[in-house]
Structure 1
Amino acid sequence: MRGPVATALGTLTLRGRCLVAAGLTLLVLGVLLGERPLVQIAVFVLALPLLSAAAVARRRFRVASRRTVTPSRVPRGAHADVRLEVTNAGRGTGGLWLLAESVPAEVGPSPEFVVERLPAGETAALTYRVHGTRRGRYRLGPLRLRLVDPFGLVLRSIAGTDSAPLVVVPRVVPLGAGGPAGGHGGGGSGARRSIAVHGEDDVSTRAYRHGDDLRKVHWRATARTGELMVRLEERPWRAQGTLLLDTRARAHLLARGHAADVRAADAGEDAPPADSLEWLIEAAASIGSELIGRGATLRVVTDARELSPSGHADGLTRGELLDRLAGVSPSRLTGLGPGIELLTRLAGDGAVVALLGSIGPDEAAELVRARSGPTTDLAVLADVGSWGDAGRGRGAGGAARSELAPQEGAAAVLLRAGGWQVVVAGADQSVAAVWAHLGRAGAAPVPLREVPA
């Protein structure tokens, strides 16, 4: 346990320590040389920091702080203003207070303030700004209070316990009406439409796909067209969409470090995502918001888990979608198997939009086996190597990047052969451009698949 002398010496600043060293030197010289004036000066020099330390140590104070973050939830690239109210809750007037707010490096430097002689019961309002450079959940605070003496010889530091949340959510890009289904996704919960008309001869049909139930083959349409056709029965429908988000660290080139945050902050609100994973997360936010806006019930699964809605709701709201995506981090899984199992259980016959990093033919074949239905599913494959070429990501060397392109190409071919509509996205492409390209990828716009209510 530290004694009072050790505690006092521990509060000395560099200036105070230098003064103590100078005083000890004068004291030794004065004793050795027999010079009494030097000894007197040494005693004065030594007494000044010690008395200052004792005065600061005995000072009693109570400080209360409160933060207001506006807004407390910002998209990546936007600012939030923080109002910090510091109240002197003690009985006496405060001295010279040096205040430092603890702020995560991802949202900006830690601000510092000086408050001098704040009367008892009074409040000082301080403001600073944070920048949502990187998506995530952060805590602003606690406040660190440093007391100093008028000579700057002694520094006493005390940290509070209070803090305030800040959530940096993915940026949502307006997608417009040029993507799959255009503006015809419609159909909120409970909406109904008939996909068959009266009469066996006029029943709606489509081409047979691998995995379809042979009991649904419509033989008259098959004989008429010369191709194997399956029947679509009349059922009540409810629009639904499911996103599959690939968050595996091994499937992306991840940008790390403070330098990446500084570059993004300098680029402003229009800065592109730092790496392929962040690009896919912003794509999930934008596409998911688009589907919710069309009235679809949205489910989101990653390679490891579902981003569950609150309560007993069937799907995510727009706010819940962004909040859940704000907390997504790279996973250590090597395969998509757990995510595909979740997708099979949750999506049913609903529309699926798969947002994938670097995948191989085996994973593409697994997706094809898991998904077969009446309409085309959508897949966005991130050209992970393009992020390395653009200098935005790291995690794979040149040899590894040279192997990515053939694998991604083979995966795209397998998905298309299985009935998926596929687009490859590079680092220089926007989410809106990729979404519009998905709408042009087929012979006709692909409608949102619907599932029975």
Structure 2
Amino acid sequence: MPTKRGWMLAGSSVVLALIGRLLGLVELYVLATAAAVLVMVAAVWVRRGRCQMVGTRSLHPPRVHAGQPCRVELTVRNPSGRRSPLMWARDPFDGGRRSARFLLAPLDPAEVARAAYRLPSERRGIFTLGPLQLERRDPFGLATSSATAAAPTRFTVYPQVDPITCPPPARGGHQSGAGDPRSFLGQRGEDFYTLRSYDEGDDLRRVHWPATARSGDLLIRQEEALWQGGVTVAVDLRRTVQSPSSLERALSAAASVVSAASLQGSPVRLVTSAGVDSGTRSGPGHLDTMLTRLAEAAITQSGDLARTVTMLADQRTGGSLVVVTTTSASRTDLGEVAQLRRWFGPIILVLLEADGASGKRLPEAAGPVPGDLTTVRVSTKVPFAVTWAQTVSRNTRSDPRPVRARGSAGAQR
């Protein structure tokens, strides 16, 4: 296929031919013919010189948090029986807005070439990397021929995670106990509760072999502190309360909470005002699922916080609840969250400073917070981890009982 330069030369040959006809100059006819022939020869040359190449791409690691490095390794092999021509390798990223380019030297049969580069990971999201294109051009740059050497690869950038403490657990005797049948199953963290599917990273010592033999699937004993009820994280994605900048801070806060709770070994559930519900589970596989949901989250025109609150009240799962929203939330929104106090133990309300609220007192911007809630007010000038540590530690200082840490090998990135 002609390049931009090739099309310009072909157009010039037509113009020269027309001028030569008007002026009767044979020399212009000769130049027009030579230009047209050169473009055609270049197109035939790049097509006849094509060589089928096989490429592979590997990401290390395939999933990162925002700001963390990711290395891409490319391998190109010549499986044909003849020497490959000089080619350019192009690996597009972010919908083709950015790409990595390499000059690929000629390869002998069965020879392998390798290259590597680093991916930008400043923005969270799920991106498509590739396909890897190999291009051959003629020496004059008039025509090009491309072929796909490697299929696209998905690259996931999780929201940034701050190191914070796990939300305080719901101690026995909180108001949701009467409606939560799990509260009658035992009062020890090692009590057997149920079986669940194996997730990568789970301790193989917890495999329930009789049940595994009967079902044919690897099943794990769920031995969580179920009277504790786990942790539920609700994220407000409505356009009325979120802006692009506040959304990133809200998703980072939610990712920090679910990561801290998962690494503690607690069962975790992620819900959003857009209708996302991860279910309540534990383990590194479930953590990856929740972080992926946060990576692809976006501001929604629709969505209803009241509907999310109603769903949580109807299910009465108990445990700790963390609600992430901004100071643009109305008093009605905060009142609906406060009504969940009868079904959950501690409720932590994370209020992020909305855009344009700098310099205002956060209590006035958000209105008085009703109910017995622990409110973490996060300004744009103070990191979330600092505010969380100050607020949560102050509200849990009266309870000296430590939270038992459970192993979650492989979940920490």
TM-score (norm 1): 0.68
Question: CA separation in 2, counterparts of 1:345 and 1:315?
Answer: 22
- Deviation at 1:35? 5.3
Partner of 1:427: 380
Give CA-to-partner distance per residue, 1:219-260, whole Å, 9 cap, x none.
Answer: xxxxxxxxxxxxx99963632221111122321111xxxxxx
Q: Are 2:37 and 1:67 equivalent residues in the alignment?
A: no
Instruction: Note closer, same or farther for the CA distance 1:385–1:34 as it changes in structure 2 (3 Å cut).
Output: closer
Q: Are 2:281 and 1:314 equivalent residues in the alignment?
A: yes
Partner of 1:167: 156
Question: CA separation in 2, counterparts of 1:75 and 1:92?
Answer: 43
Question: CA separation in 1, counterparts of 2:36 and 2:344?
Answer: 88
* Equivalent residues of 1:99, 1:143 under 8 A apart: yes
One-letter code aligned to 1:70: H
Partner of 1:376: 346
Structure 1 unpaired stretches of 5+: 1-10, 187-192, 196-203, 214-231, 255-274, 391-401
Q: Are 2:366 and 1:408 equivalent residues in the alignment?
A: yes
Of 275, 282, 285, 2:252 maps to: 282
- Deviation at 1:24? 4.2
Question: CA separation in 2, counterparts of 1:172 and 1:361?
Answer: 29
Q: Are 2:111 and 1:122 equivalent residues in the alignment?
A: yes
- Deviation at 1:321? 3.4
Partner of 1:236: 187
Question: CA separation in 1, counterparts of 2:114 and 2:385?
Answer: 42
Quote the sequence identity (%). Answer: 26
- Deviation at 1:426? 1.5
One-letter code aligned to 2:346: T
The 5 A counterparts of 1:51-450 are 51-104=41-94, 109-159=98-148, 162-175=151-164, 181=168, 236=187, 238=225, 239=228, 240-254=230-244, 275-308=245-278, 314-315=281-282, 317=284, 318-346=287-315, 348-357=317-326, 358-372=328-342, 375-386=345-356, 406=364, 408-410=366-368, 412=369, 414=370, 418-439=371-392, 442=395, 444-445=397-398
Q: What SS does structure 1 have at the residue aligned with 2:256? A: helix
Q: What SS does structure 2 have at the residue aligned with 1:111? A: strand
Instruction: Note closer, same or farther for the CA distance 1:440–1:403 as it changes in structure 2 (3 Å cut).
Output: closer
Instruction: Note closer, same or farther for the CA distance 1:78–1:23 as it changes in structure 2 (3 Å cut).
Output: same
* Equivalent residues of 2:56, 2:150 under 8 A apart: no
- Deviation at 1:151? 1.6
Instruction: Note closer, same or farther for the CA distance 1:38–1:304 as it changes in structure 2 (3 Å cut).
Output: closer
Q: What SS does structure 2 have at the residue aligned with 1:250? A: coil
Give CA-to-partner distance per residue, 1:354-398, whole Å, 9 cap, x none.
Answer: 112331111222222233258432111112135x759xxxxxxxx
* Equivalent residues of 2:246, 2:355 under 8 A apart: no
Question: CA separation in 1, counterparts of 2:334 and 2:400?
Answer: 22
* Equivalent residues of 1:242, 1:347 under 8 A apart: no
Question: CA separation in 2, counterparts of 1:241 and 1:155?
Answer: 57
Instruction: Note closer, same or farther for the CA distance 1:316–1:45 as it changes in structure 2 (3 Å cut).
Output: same
Question: CA separation in 1, counterparts of 2:177 and 2:86?
Answer: 77
Instruction: Note closer, same or farther for the CA distance 1:425–1:404 as it changes in structure 2 (3 Å cut).
Output: closer
* Equivalent residues of 2:68, 2:121 under 8 A apart: yes
Partner of 1:259: none
Instruction: Note closer, same or farther for the CA distance 1:75–1:447 as it changes in structure 2 (3 Å cut).
Output: farther
* Equivalent residues of 1:169, 1:322 under 8 A apart: yes
Give CA-to-partner distance per residue, 1:76-103, whole Å, 9 cap, x none.
Answer: 0112110111223333322232222110
Question: CA separation in 2, counterparts of 1:105 and 1:119?
Answer: 33
Q: What SS does structure 2 have at the residue aligned with 1:339? A: helix
Instruction: Note closer, same or farther for the CA distance 1:241–1:16 as it changes in structure 2 (3 Å cut).
Output: closer
Question: CA separation in 2, counterparts of 1:295 and 1:175?
Answer: 15
One-letter code aligned to 2:92: S
* Equivalent residues of 2:84, 2:106 under 8 A apart: yes
User: Quick check: 30-39 or 40-49, which moved more?
Assistant: 30-39
Structure 2 unpaired stretches of 5+: 189-224, 404-413
- Deviation at 1:22? 4.4
Partner of 1:7: none
Question: CA separation in 2, counterparts of 1:347 and 1:114?
Answer: 60
Question: CA separation in 2, counterparts of 1:385 and 1:447?
Answer: 38
Instruction: Note closer, same or farther for the CA distance 1:373–1:53 as it changes in structure 2 (3 Å cut).
Output: closer
- Rg (Cα) greater in structure: 1
* Equivalent residues of 1:61, 1:89 under 8 A apart: no
Question: CA separation in 2, counterparts of 1:233 and 1:40?
Answer: 96
Instruction: Note closer, same or farther for the CA distance 1:21–1:168 as it changes in structure 2 (3 Å cut).
Output: closer
Instruction: Note closer, same or farther for the CA distance 1:173–1:116 as it changes in structure 2 (3 Å cut).
Output: same
Instruction: Note closer, same or farther for the CA distance 1:50–1:422 as it changes in structure 2 (3 Å cut).
Output: same
Instruction: Note closer, same or farther for the CA distance 1:443–1:132 as it changes in structure 2 (3 Å cut).
Output: closer
TM-score (norm 2): 0.74
Instruction: Note closer, same or farther for the CA distance 1:248–1:22 as it changes in structure 2 (3 Å cut).
Output: closer
Give CA-to-partner distance per residue, 1:278-333, whole Å, 9 cap, x none.
Answer: 21221122222222333322122112334425xxx734544443233223232333
Instruction: Note closer, same or farther for the CA distance 1:160–1:87 as it changes in structure 2 (3 Å cut).
Output: closer
One-letter code aligned to 1:355: V
Question: CA separation in 1, counterparts of 2:24 and 2:274?
Answer: 80
Q: What SS does structure 1 have at the residue aligned with 2:367? A: helix
- Deviation at 1:105? 6.2
- Deviation at 1:403? 13
Question: CA separation in 2, counterparts of 1:447 and 1:349?
Answer: 22
Question: CA separation in 2, counterparts of 1:302 and 1:369?
Answer: 18
Partner of 2:219: none
Q: How many residues align?
A: 357
Question: CA separation in 2, counterparts of 1:235 and 1:34?
Answer: 103
* Equivalent residues of 2:234, 2:322 under 8 A apart: yes
